[in-house]
A and B are shown apart, each in its own frame.
Chain A
């Protein structure tokens, strides 16, 4: 017996119900469960319920392991991208912009300007990610790892607005903003690359 499109939907919904939210993980698990249930008799829903009940904790554990592996993969790719020449170019441009602003409008105003610039860049670049998170559509396991980086980068950037008065060196302030901007931009480029890969893989 081959599973129908409706039965595949049932498996997918059952997986969402137990908290398996990422599309790529669900896709693989759905195929495995469908293949397993196709070996049984016609009582598909009955067997599906049994399968989910019997394997619920195992499925959840596997889901967590998938996310953990995806996190490692996401960070590895981010690091590789950060070592690419275009990433250094972003860093150099941001550093030059920071130094120019500090020298032309003063450090305090420059820090405020750089802070808002960082927020604006982050907001613009995160629109596709935020949209996916809000609609819960086409979220992939790799998205999870990136959600932390923004928070990690955001907190010291807010703190820097006040802390810059305690730093003697203008270059250090410009350097800090150049680094956070570079991390942010590289992260969104990495997300974009992964999304492109997933689109090609899952939507043909």
Chain B
């Protein structure tokens, strides 16, 4: 993952947003999706992704399904009911954060025009 605290702090929200959009996903799929959306700018390593997934699962925000795919077991993650609610909250929080940052970094640009 890009060595930036800004990205690291948003990793859980990124994961939850992707799961909200795609239903259920497995680890490698998440890394590839992020790479695709950000045109290769953001590369999430397994060392950052999987502990984040496990932590979200331990917090009851993600549920797990294991299936046999191509000779191996694959662990799929999906949002729980409380995970879905938490995603909405975190996305709102992130949007607010981006707006505030935008106001601070480029004070002359109207934040509302950026969204």
Complex interface: chain B residues within 8 A of A55 (CB) = 46
Contacting residue for A8 out of B26, B27, B54, B71, CB 8 A: B71
In the complex, which residue of chain B has the Cβ closest to the Cβ of A55? Answer: B46
Q: Is B98 an interface residue (CB 8 A)?
A: no
Pair A73/B58 contact, Cβ less than 8 Å: yes
Q: Chain A binding site: helix, strand, loop or mixed by DSSP?
A: helix
Q: Which of B7-43 contact A (CB under 8 A)?
A: 26-28
In the complex, which residue of chain A has the Cβ closest to the Cβ of B67? Answer: A204
In the complex, which residue of chain A has the Cβ closest to the Cβ of B75? Answer: A28
In the complex, which residue of chain A has the Cβ closest to the Cβ of B31? Answer: A32
A35 CA / B27 CA spacing, docked (Å)? 10
Pair A65/B73 contact, Cβ less than 8 Å: no
Q: Chain B binding site: helix, strand, loop or mixed by DSSP?
A: mixed
The distance from the CB of B93 to the nearest CB of chain A, in whole angstroms, is 23
Complex interface: chain A residues within 8 A of B71 (CB) = 2-5, 7-8
Complex interface: chain A residues within 8 A of B54 (CB) = 65-66, 69-70
A30 CA / B45 CA spacing, docked (Å)? 15
Q: Is A61 an interface residue (CB 8 A)?
A: yes
Complex interface: chain A residues within 8 A of B73 (CB) = 27, 30-31, 202
Pair B46/A31 contact, Cβ less than 8 Å: no
Categorize the interface residue count of chain B. Answer: 20 to 34
Q: Is A156 an interface residue (CB 8 A)?
A: no
Q: Which of B39-97 contact A (CB under 8 A)?
A: 45-47, 50-51, 54-55, 58, 64, 66, 69-75
Contacting residue for A62 out of B46, B69, B75, CB 8 A: B46
Q: Is A58 an interface residue (CB 8 A)?
A: yes
In the complex, which residue of chain B has the Cβ closest to the Cβ of A76? Answer: B58
Complex interface: chain A residues within 8 A of B75 (CB) = 27-28, 31
The distance from the CB of A41 to the nearest CB of chain B, in whole angstroms, is 17
A36 CA / B72 CA spacing, docked (Å)? 14
Complex interface: chain B residues within 8 A of A66 (CB) = 50-51, 54
Chain B residues with a Cβ under 8 A of chain A: 26-28, 45-47, 50-51, 54-55, 58, 64, 66, 69-75
Chain A residues with a Cβ under 8 A of chain B: 2-5, 7-8, 27-32, 34-36, 55, 58-59, 61-62, 65-66, 69-70, 72-73, 76, 201-202
A-B pairs, 4 with minimum CB distance = A35-B28, A65-B51, A73-B58, A5-B71
